[in-house]
């Protein structure tokens, strides 16, 4: 039976070093998240995360996943859209046995940061459409995993043609805009994403870039507009059924939304 490891960080004072305790539980002792019937909830995101092998999932990726689960349970549409976008992006990055790169995500983050700084949206639409295309491909990978958990074990993740595999981009500038007016969960996510951005390994870098891109306002608006078919896709995934037809509908809705939202 699979083990479940709980890592607890305890800090006794503002300047104290954290004390770490590790507790291991039988996986079967952990109650599954129930479907509360709402359009978006942690039932969708947590079951999507369960599709991927957790053997190389580090503490910062686990932190991101828990924040996404918490965002899923928030009542406001923006938090729900962020949760759905980021859940798809993170599972997409973790789906392949061999990581690809972050070219599409980093290019969009750079375009977004430039647009926020200059007020000039030139290039933002094209970068957004490319990144939404990457999310659509992530939906396909999630559908593959839902049908066959070993389908992508030996596969290489999507790769573009950019300097350094997209591991360097305008992280701070983008997150300054993302955090503006956001709730505390997004502020927490920034801290974990920053550790992934500065990590030495490509898997962590890719997840950090994916989370950063999926948190940007244009992506959140597109996902919010396509939230019904996207959440329906994740609900079918969570149920264990074949989500192929729902995946096609979700991709089409997402790409339509990306082409129609105002930047």
Q: What is the chain's pLDDT, residue by residue, as a tens digit (263 residues)?
A: 344 445 444 444 444 444 445 555 554 555 667 778 899 999 999 999 999 988 879 999 999 999 999 999 999 999 999 999 999 999 999 999 999 999 999 999 999 999 999 999 989 999 999 999 999 999 999 999 999 999 999 999 989 889 899 999 999 999 999 999 888 999 999 999 999 999 999 999 999 999 999 999 999 999 999 999 999 999 999 999 999 999 999 999 999 999 999 88
- pTM reported for the whole predicted model: 0.89
52 lies in the same domain as 112:
yes
The residue range of the domain holding 23 is 1-30
H or E element in which residue 26 lies: strand 19-26
Residue-wise pLDDT tens digits, 224-247: 999 999 999 999 999 999 999 999
In order of 14, 131, 168, 212, 230, the CA distances from 67 in angstroms are 23, 22, 24, 13, 19
106 lies in the same domain as 135:
yes
17 lies in the same domain as 125:
no
238 lies in the same domain as 132:
yes
47 lies in the same domain as 162:
yes
11 lies in the same domain as 131:
no
45 lies in the same domain as 150:
yes
15 lies in the same domain as 134:
no
- Specify the number of domains making up the chain: 2
Q: Are 134 and 158 in contact (CB under 8 A)?
A: yes
41 lies in the same domain as 22:
no
The H helix count followed by the E strand count for the chain is 11, 2
Long-range CB contact pairs, 167-170, < 8 A, 24+: 167/101, 167/102, 167/106, 167/202, 167/205, 167/209, 168/106, 169/102, 169/106, 169/107, 169/109, 169/110, 169/113, 169/209, 169/212, 170/109, 170/110, 170/113, 170/114
């Amino acid at each position: 039976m699979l083990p479940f490891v709980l890592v607890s960080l305890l800090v006794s004072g503002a300047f104290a070093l954290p004390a770490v305790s590790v507790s291991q539980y039988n996986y079967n002792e952990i109650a599954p998240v129930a479907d509360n019937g709402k359009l978006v909830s942690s039932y969708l995101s947590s079951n999507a995360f369960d599709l991927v092998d957790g053997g190389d999932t580090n503490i910062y990726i686990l932190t991101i996943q828990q924040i996404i689960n918490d965002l899923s349970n928030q009542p406001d549409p923006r938090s729900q859209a962020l949760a759905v976008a980021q859940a798809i992006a993170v599972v997409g990055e973790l789906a392949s046995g061999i990581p690809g790169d972050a070219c599409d995500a980093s290019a969009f983050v750079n375009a977004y940061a430039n647009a926020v700084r200059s007020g000039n949206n030139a290039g933002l639409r094209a970068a957004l459409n490319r990144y939404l295309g990457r999310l659509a491909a992530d939906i396909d990978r999630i559908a593959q995993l839902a049908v066959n958990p070993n389908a992508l074990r030996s596969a290489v993740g999507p790769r573009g043609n950019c300097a350094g595999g997209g591991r360097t981009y305008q992280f701070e500038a983008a997150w300054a805009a993302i955090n503006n007016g956001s709730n505390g969960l997004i502020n927490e996510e920034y801290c974990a994403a920053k550790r992934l951005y500065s990590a030495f390994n490509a898997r962590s870098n890719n997840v950090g870039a994916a989370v950063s891109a999926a948190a940007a306002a244009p992506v959140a608006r597109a996902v919010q507009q396509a939230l019904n078919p996207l959440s329906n896709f994740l609900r079918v995934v969570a149920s264990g059924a074949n989500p192929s037809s729902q995946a096609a509908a979700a991709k089409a809705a997402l790409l339509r939304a990306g082409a129609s939202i105002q930047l």
